[in-house]
Amino acid sequence: MRYGRASLAFSFLVQGVAFALLVTRIPAIQDRYGISDGLLPVFLAAVPILAGVGSVLTEQLVKRVRPSRVLRWSQPVVLLALLGVGFGRDVAELGVSLGAFGLSVGALDSSMNMLGVSLQRAYGRSIMLGFHATYSLGGILGASLAWAGAHWELSLATSYLPVVAVLLPAAFIGSRWYVDAKPAPEPAKTDGTGSAQGGPAGGVVFKLLLPLCLVMTFAYIGDSTVSNWSAKYLQDVLGSSEQLSTAPYNVYMVTTLIGRSLGDLGVRRFGAAAVVRAGTGLAAVGFGVVAAAPGAWTGMLGFTLLGLGLCVLVPQTFAAAGRLFPGASDAAVARLNIFNYVGFLIGSPLVGALGDAWSYRGAMLVPLVLVLVTLVYARSFAQGPARYGDGHERPSTADVG
């Protein structure tokens, strides 16, 4: 299991690098292919939409093949699609590459989190935040590589080729040690009257999964607000310099890495529900500080709090789905993963529309309210029979495939 954990963590890191290399070079992609400002949102929206489709297909695919197989073959497709974006010659080729990237990212995200949830169950203690910490580290590395490529005015092909040449064989070799843990038997759930709501035969009951889907959506609305609007907000609203306006997202990524690196210890000590409540509170305070900030440095403080708060929500939401449906965790994770992309699609346009129609300070209050809704559903994160992190952890030995 140690080898399986390490190889899966490396896959999260590779995915963080690949995704950052794509999204941080969007201006260069637009210039290379001559995409108009009006057409660009169509291309950008197509990737998360197709990723959602890929997640739906993965739910069906893992009924026939192991999630490790899906991950082993989808990660190279993601990297090759990234390379296709760099080497394409016209808009049609870009469309094909982005389509392949979106579909394979959906399969990759789903299968990675499926393996993470099953490994956490096998370990009997919280390790899910650690996987997402390596994703954050990969995002920092990818953004740094993208900055270097832009600084030295390297072409997309020149920027992407060395990274793919190193990461693709490394990820494929590492995939030999993926571990597919056997699902736990799932007790039947009732609606309070004794009527069965789900179980081994019923699989995932969407009514029970819905609170976690909402939390996932709201968390990604918050995340996409930071990634898409932090620079503009700092420069246009808080009056920062252009150079300083690039700092909030980097600060956000670093604090996300720190929070996730320490988060598993917090879950083991205080429980998942307490960590989620604390993260929600920090994120809400962060949005409040950003909305009320009198100047750029206060805004930076707000984005710092946002990174520390939001970082725990997504990993713990996946983990909670695995605990809620231990006998059908793969299906639960695949369905939950769709709402990752729903939040990503809603967040940026929502804040932009409210900012133009009202004010960007006021727009920052909307993700604040949505994130606070997580407190209503915090009970969904409470540990069940597995008892992760409350002093009654299961033994670390497990029967794994």
353-375 pLDDT per residue, tens: 999 899 999 999 999 999 999 99
Task: Evaluate if residue 384 carries a pLDDT over 70.
Answer: no
pLDDT value at 7 more than 80? yes
Whole-number pLDDT of residue 55: 97
> Which comes out higher in pLDDT, residue 398 or 53?
53
Mean of pLDDT values over 149-153: 88
Contact criterion met (CB below 8 Å) for 142 and 16: yes
Among 26-40, 353-367, 377-391, which is the least confidently predicted range? 377-391
User: Is the pLDDT at 394 greater than 60, yes or no?
Assistant: no
Residue 390 has pLDDT above 90, yes or no: no
What pLDDT does 184 receive?
A: 59
Distance, in Å, from the CA atom of 333 to the CA atom of 313, rounded to the nearest integer, reads 14
Instruction: Quickly name the fold that domain 1-182 has.
Output: Growth Hormone; Chain: A; (1.20.1250)
Q: What is the mean pLDDT of the chain?
A: 89
Q: Please give the pLDDT value at position 391.
A: 39
pLDDT tens digits for range 230-289: 988 998 899 988 778 878 888 899 999 999 999 999 999 999 999 999 999 999 999 999
Write down the pLDDT at residue 241.
85
Q: Which tops the pLDDT comparison, 146 or 260?
A: 260
Angle at 397 between CA 258 and CA 272, to 5 degrees: 35
User: Which residue ranges make up each domain of the chain?
Assistant: 1-182, 200-389
Indicate if 200-389 has the same CATH topology as 1-182.
Answer: yes
The reported pLDDT for the residue numbered 99 is: 96
Kindly report the CATH number that applies to the domain delimited by 200-389: 1.20.1250.20
The pLDDT assigned to 46 comes to 93
- Averaged pLDDT for residues 195-201: 40
Supply the pLDDT for residue 264. 96
CB atoms within 10 A of CB 156: 23
**What pLDDT band is residue 182 in, cutting at 50, 70 and 90?**
low
Query: 3-class secondary structure for the chain?
Result: CHHHHHHHHHHHHHHHHHHHHHHCCHHHHHHHHCCCCCCHHHHHHHHHHHHHHHHHHHHHHCCCCCHHHHHHHHHHHHHHHHHHHHHCCCHHHHHHHHHHHHHHHHHHHHHHHHHHHHHHHHHCCCCHHHHHHHHHHHHHHHHHHHHHHHHCCCCHHHHHHHHHHHHHHHHHHHHHHCCCECCCCCCCEECCCCCEEEECCCECCHHHHHHHHHHHHHHHHHHHHHHHHHHHHHHHHCCCCHHHHCHHHHHHHHHHHHHHHHHHHHHHHHCHHHHHHHHHHHHHHHHHHHHHCCCHHHHHHHHHHHHHHHCCHHHHHHHHHHHHCCCCHHHHHHHHHHHHHHHHHHHHHHHHHHHHHCCHHHHCHHHHHHHHHHHHHHHHHCCCCCCCCCCCCCCCCCCEC
- Per residue in 296-320, pLDDT (tens digit) is 999 999 999 999 999 999 999 999 9
C-alpha to C-alpha distance for 339 and 336, rounded to whole angstroms: 6
